[in-house]
Chains A and B, each alone.
Chain A
Amino acid sequence: AQTVTQSQPEMSVQEAETVTLSCTYDTSENNYYLFWYKQPPSRQMILVIRQEAYKQQNATENRFSVNFQKAAKSFSLKISDSQLGDTAMYFCAFMKPLSTGTASKLTFGTGTRLQVTL
């Protein structure tokens, strides 16, 4: 079974600064997908960024980027130019496609609560 570990329960960053959230995972699979989801107080999970394991290039979405280290099974999220609206719980998630090649369930870490301050 796959496991996802987020070792930082809470983090704080000042507005406009950069923060990095850590995530490690354990799997014996070679083909899988990794995600960062954001859950603001509204409770709705929002996809922040996605990484395919077979791609060596780190994914980037505007102010959000990842550092994907496949051998180390590490998948950290960097938020640049932090904004007040980035305040939320951030979950790292793993997905192994089914043998049929279809998308499957997400395995989540325990989350990191990020507070962006003035």
Chain B
Amino acid sequence: KAGVTQTPRYLIKTRGQQVTLSCSPISGHRSVSWYQQTPGQGLQFLFEYFSETQRNKGNFPGRFSGRQFSNSRSEMNVSTLELGDSALYLCASRKQGTVSNTEAFFGQGTRLTVV
């Protein structure tokens, strides 16, 4: 059974550009969450999608957005990139999002560098 797949693994962008990251959850998983990991701020929750609807959102500016497709694949977009957006972006999937399915399975992340 394939795990959570994030593409691309590495990305270099210039300030002011926009970027789209992709996450394919484990087959059968309907909940996808995104986290940003930086040395300074640690792991911070961005947002969660379930059945194509955003169910929860972290404290990030509107430049950060996401969506989920009918096949549960999710994308996150960051517009007008800033140097501080350089981070490891992790995606996690859960089977259904109910409390009985608490285990989140993580992908290997996308390392975004903004120059």
**Which residues of A are at the interface with B, using a C-beta cutoff of 8 A?**
33, 35, 37, 42-47, 50, 91, 95, 97-98, 101-111
* The residue from B98, B104, B106 contacting A102, defined by CB atoms under 8 A apart: B98
Cβ contact within 8 Å between A45 and B99: no
Return chain B residues, CB-CB under 8 Å to A50.
Answer: 102-103
B32 at the interface (CB under 8 A from A): no
Give 8 nearest A-B pairs by CB, closest first: A45-B106, A108-B43, A105-B45, A97-B99, A44-B108, A102-B97, A110-B42, A43-B109
Please list the residues of chain B having a beta carbon within 8 angstroms of any beta carbon in chain A: 31, 33, 35, 42-43, 45, 48, 50, 55-56, 58, 88, 90, 92, 94, 97-99, 101-109
Q: How many A-B residue pairs have CB under 8 A?
A: 62
CB–CB B108/A103 < 8 A: no
Do A98 and B56 form a contact, CB below 8 Å, given A103-B31, A107-B45? yes
Q: List 29 A-B contacts (CB under 8 A).
A: A33-B99, A33-B102, A42-B108, A43-B109, A44-B107, A44-B109, A45-B92, A45-B106, A47-B104, A95-B102, A98-B56, A101-B99, A102-B98, A103-B94, A103-B98, A103-B99, A103-B102, A103-B104, A104-B56, A105-B33, A105-B58, A106-B35, A106-B43, A106-B45, A106-B92, A106-B104, A107-B45, A110-B42, A111-B42
